[in-house]
Amino acid sequence: MKNDPLHGQIHKTAELISKAGKVVVFTGAGVSTESGIPDFRSPGGLWSKFDPDDFTIERFLYSPETRKRQWKFLLEGGGFAQARPNAAHKAIAWLETIGKLTCVITQNVDDLHQKAGNSPEKVYELHGNMKWLKCLNCFERYPLEDLLGRFRGTEEVPSCIRCQGILKPDVIFFGESLPEQTLKDATYAASNCDLLIVIGSSLVVYPAAYIPLYAKGGGAKLVIINKTETSYDANADVVIHSGAGEVMDGIVAVLQKLEISCA
């Protein structure tokens, strides 16, 4: 019904977007789950397949067995290559096409924003991207799909073709710092936007969860779209406790009715 609270929240968010010159979107696992990628803690998620200690940089470096388990996981589809963008990803990409979106800041590592159509240079991946493996010695990067094709059906764990160094998924492990330049760019974008829309993040993983504080500190409006409450809800201008795809579809529909033109 058009008069229900959800419709009102969606309409208010659409109006905030229409009035904003610089919109930044911050996404977490709640966006990816609608593409069939479970979050770390849910049934079928990463922690049901691994000891979390396997994702410390120390364990990865010094345990060949840990590296073997992770490579087997990637061979079995753990790199998310088959996942496809959902309605939320597509809506966020559409915001770029109409000239509203400054950038996407994401905690996700699945490459789905780029697959949906967002420009790679406008996607700030705070935790890296699973589509790449990186040599820890010479820093050469390899597309995961290429190495999966080459080593599938063997027991061998690949090493760097150039220097035989250890290959690691190009994502942030426990004990590693976030990529400095990416974090710097994301912080600047959030601090200088007119509107920050948080989608599918519980905002508990730091330092990424500081992003809403940077936005509010810069005078931006804040919208939070997440199925569960967050500690930032009290500071938000709009809070929507619902699924990302449904909400973003609704926002796009309202914006189209408002006849938002490309900037």
Do 25 and 67 share a domain, yes or no?
no
Q: Show the tokens assigned to 70.
A: 């992770």
| Catalytic site residue from 11, 89, 113, 127 | 127
Number of domains in the chain: 2
- Shared domain for 223 and 262, answered yes or no, is yes
Q: Among this protein's residues, is 11 annotated catalytic? A: no
The C-alpha atoms of residue 67 and residue 65 are separated, in whole angstroms, by 5
In a shared domain, residues 55 and 107: no
Looking at beta carbons, which pairs linking 249-256 to residues 24 or more positions away fall under 8 Å? 249/87, 249/91, 250/6, 250/7, 250/10, 251/10, 251/13, 251/14, 251/17, 251/91, 252/91, 252/94, 254/10, 254/11, 254/14, 255/14, 255/17, 255/18, 255/98
| Domain termination site, one of 151, 171, 191 | 171
155 and 255 in a single domain? The answer is no
The secondary structure of residue 76, as a DSSP letter, is I
- Of 107, 142, 171, the residue at which a domain comes to its end is 171
User: Which residues span the domain enclosing 116?
Assistant: 1-37+85-127+178-263
pLDDT by residue, tens only, the chain of 263 residues: 455 789 999 999 999 999 999 999 999 999 999 998 876 555 555 545 566 677 789 999 999 999 998 898 888 775 577 789 999 999 999 999 999 999 999 999 999 999 999 999 999 999 999 999 999 999 999 999 999 888 888 889 999 999 999 999 999 998 999 999 999 999 999 999 999 999 999 999 888 899 999 999 999 999 999 999 999 999 999 999 999 999 999 999 999 998 754 44
Residues 222 and 134 in one domain: no
* Domain identity same for 247 and 217: yes
Which domain-ending residue is among 108, 136, 171?
A: 171
Angstrom distance (rounded) from CA 60 to CA 249: 40
The pairing of strands 123-125 and 23-27 is: unpaired
User: Could you tell me if 143 and 238 lie in one domain?
Assistant: no
